[in-house]
Amino acid sequence: MAMFPGQGSQRAGMAAHLVRDHPRTAGRVMAEADEALGLPLTRLCTTGETAELGRTEITQPAILATSLAVLEVLRAEAGFTPSAVAGHSLGEYAALVAAGVLGRADALRLVRVRGELMAGVGRTVAGAMVAVLGLPAARVAELCADAAADGVAEVANFNESDQTVVSGHRPAVDRVARRALDAGADRVARLDVSAPFHCSLMNGISEDFGAALDGAAFADPRTTVLSSVTGTALRDGAEARALLGRQLAGPVRWRGVLEAAHAAGVTAYVEVGPGRVLSGFANRAFPGSTVRSTNDARRVSALIRDLNDDERSTNR
């Protein structure tokens, strides 16, 4: 299964090796992204500073463009055709491109609008997000409910059985963090984000983003897409459009995605794009599986070689 990362996986120079080593594939995809959005994404993703990439309205299209560039390299040089795809939050747009549901240009335009709208929420709402490690998700949800007097605090990400992300108003999220440690959490980590993603504080932008979704073309998937909104397979393009609208304020059910993939017999996972967060989740969830990432030039080259070796072995 191909897994596409979300916000937080960005880093300075994350596409430099791609543009350098694969100019006809990755370089072309990055150039197309520059033209489609009127943003210097190639520069930002090769020589841009961390601070530039950290702005949500830049981060989101930058990660998407980099993931799509990796996907194109794997397709062109190794015939990469995953049996299933999934994306963590923002990564779902890359997954939909991989499955033929969205075209690259539409996905990039949607993500730019998404990032701008989310950044706008961050400028008007004093929000925060924390990851709680070492407590069951049900207990974290109880702590969120207990913090209601201080504002919104909701589960935003069901990442692993013992890692849950909370999002909402800063005072309420801070209260959840304190109470989680009192309840026996191993650790609470504040996320470096500019807005409280995947909670009801995002409801105010749903209408504007819905208008953007209405302007994009959605096709039915050509391969299995496991939605991070539901943890189940998409039925058609109409459902994909609806779920992207729900995704803004709804939790990411990544644990459900991995459980559904495992139940379907998936034993190999490839993280396509920057970072290795999703690879870590898959490794810990299913230690016996084959898990690969494409975070740097060495890993991309090794994966291409192995995919081509597997293909040659199959054709003997």
Residue pair 78/92 in contact by the 8 Å Cβ criterion: no
- Residues annotated as catalytic (active site), given as ranges: 89, 198
- What does the alpha-carbon distance between residue 216 and residue 34 come to, in Å, rounded to a whole number? 19
Give 254: exposed, middle or buried? Use CB within 10 Å, 0-12, 13-18, 19+. buried
Residue 54 burial (C-beta neighbours within 10 Å; 0-12, 13-18, 19+): middle
Q: What is the DSSP letter of 251?
A: P
Name residue, tokens 């935003």. 156
Query: Does residue 116 contact residue 195 with C-beta atoms inside 8 Å?
Result: no
Q: Pairing relation of β-strands 2-4 and 127-133? A: unpaired
Residue at token pair 């304020």: 249
Q: Terminal CA-to-CA distance of the chain, rounded, Å?
A: 24
